[in-house]
Amino acid sequence: MSNQPSSAADARRRVTELVREARICMLTTIAVDGRMVSRPMGLQEAEFDGDLWFFAYADSAKVRQIRVNPEVNVAFSDSKRDAWVSISGTAREGYDRAKAEELWSPLLKAWFPDGLDTPGITLIKVHAGSAEYWDSPSGTVVNLFGHARAAVTGKPPKAGANHEVGY
């Protein structure tokens, strides 16, 4: 797919593609004292349709923070493709057994040893309000060359494509 979207639908498809490839992200919430707090999370649903899903413990700091202030940011980085995605949205916490069964992966047993019957397990749903992504114009070697040239010439390297997407 071209790095230049021809429509809003193409831009949303590109965000979906980048999210699907990265899978691990940083979820940023706002603490009670106003500080932004980020932590790594594993995305549970790769078919991004405007909603992101995560498993968590209901008594965790992130869930308490979401209950007070549901505005969050989810940032993905894909170093293989030199691409980044930042999704701003609204989060809510709640346990839906059917959704949990749909999203469950055996890898989650490392964090939730009793599976879906782990006491205190819950889901976090982030509904995207907007997204922004950056695509590098070329591969890593070319990017490194561009940064080296920038160091010598004093001119910044060519930035990748940057697009904002509404949901």
CA distance 41 to 67: 18
Check: pTM over 0.85? Answer yes or no. Answer: no
User: Given pLDDT bands bounded at 50, 70 and 90, which one contains residue 46?
Assistant: low
For residue 150, the domain's CATH number is 2.30.110.10
Q: How confident is the model at residue 167 (pLDDT cuts 50, 70, 90)?
A: confident
What is the average pLDDT score of the chain?
A: 84
Q: Which residue segment(s) compose the domain that 110 sits in? A: 8-166
pLDDT at 163: 63
Q: In this prediction, what percent of the chain has a pLDDT beyond 90? A: 57
- Residue 2 in any domain: the answer is no
User: Do 122 and 95 contact (CB within 8 A), yes or no?
Assistant: yes
* Per-residue confidence (pLDDT) for residue 151, from 0 to 100: 58
**In this structure, is residue 1 part of a structural domain?**
no
Give the CA dihedral 46, 47, 51, 56, nearest 10 degrees.
-30
Is residue 23 scored above 90 in pLDDT? no
Q: How far is Cα 75 from Cα 20, in angstroms, rounded to an integer?
A: 13
Distance CA 125, CA 99 (A): 11
In a domain, 132, yes or no: yes
How many structural domains are present in the chain?
1
